[in-house]
Amino acid sequence: MISSFFRRIATVPKTVPVLTVYHNTSSKTSTHLVNKLRAYADLPSTAERYSETTPKLSGQLPKFVINLKENQLPSFEDYAFVHENCLGIHPGNLTSFQRSFPRITGSSRFAGDLEFLPESEYNQLMSSNRSRFFKPPLIIDHANSLIAHDDAGLDRIMANYLSCGIQDSHKNLNKEDDSSFQHIPHTSTNTSQEVHRTHYINPHVAEFADLY
């Protein structure tokens, strides 16, 4: 059941990673990825992590929680987090960003070529033409500084949470369910502002440094 898949953020400690999902309910691609998240949660390594009980009662914390935002444009806080923390982590992040924000990225090929927009300019672009400004889906993994716009990106994110490993596992998942996901109340302060960062080399940077 959907209700057993999501745990409300209010009952989960701040240390549990949050995946923010910007989902367009009219987009087949977006619905496809949201359904993939549900399928991943049914895999043996994660299915037992979700319940309606609180962490104290279940005795086990979820590996991640979902902050589903349907038919919304990305907040400036999420845009800033992605621009400042994700674009240089993995080549796939840049590709996902370019596909999600075509009007911002234009013909830029490298992360260093992308200018950071101030909040006023971002909001102006956001309100001028919604459909041209943002192309969902967009999944943001704040804990690992990864984003996804397609299957490959989602696999890359899930590799950090599924203990059994998932290389191309989306090809082996069960048939998707078209059910809609419930909303989870959430604010930006629970995501990018609460991610504690230390000075370390992200494993995705180390692995793919030669691709830049």
Rounded to whole angstroms, the Cα distance separating 170 from 154 reads 9
- State yes or no: pLDDT of 2 exceeds 60: no
Query: Which of 6-15, 18-27, 67-76, 179-188 is least confident?
Result: 179-188
Q: Both tokens of residue 166? A: 């998932």
Is 9 among the domain residues? Answer: no
Rg of the chain on CA atoms, in Å:
17
Does the pTM of the predicted model rise above 0.75?
A: no
10 within some domain: no
pLDDT, position 156: 95
Confidence of residue 122 (pLDDT cuts 50, 70, 90): very high
For the segment 13-72, what is each residue's pLDDT rounded down to a tens digit?
677 888 999 999 999 999 999 999 877 866 655 544 544 444 444 556 677 888 999 999
Residue 168 belongs to some domain of the structure: yes
In a domain, 7, yes or no: no
Domain that holds residue 106: 17-211
133 in a structural domain: yes
Q: What is the pLDDT of residues 124-177, one digit of tens each?
A: 988 887 778 899 999 999 999 999 999 999 999 999 988 655 555 455 444 444
The single-letter DSSP state of residue 46 is T
Establish if 166 belongs to a structural domain.
yes
Number of domains present in the structure of the chain:
1
Give the CA distances from residue 15 to residues 125, 140, 191, in Å, rounded to whole numbers and listed in that order: 34, 16, 10
Containing 184, the helix (H) or strand (E) segment is: none
CB 73 within 8 A of CB 126: yes
161 part of a folded domain: yes
* pLDDT exceeds 80 at position 179: no
Please report which residue ranges of the chain form alpha helices under DSSP H. 2-5, 28-41, 55-58, 76-85, 91-100, 102-105, 119-128, 130-133, 151-158, 203-208
Query: Residue 103: is it exposed, middle or buried by C-beta count within 10 angstroms (0-12/13-18/19+)?
Result: middle
Per the model's pLDDT, the better-predicted residue between 191 and 21 turns out to be 21
Q: Is residue 151 part of a domain?
A: yes
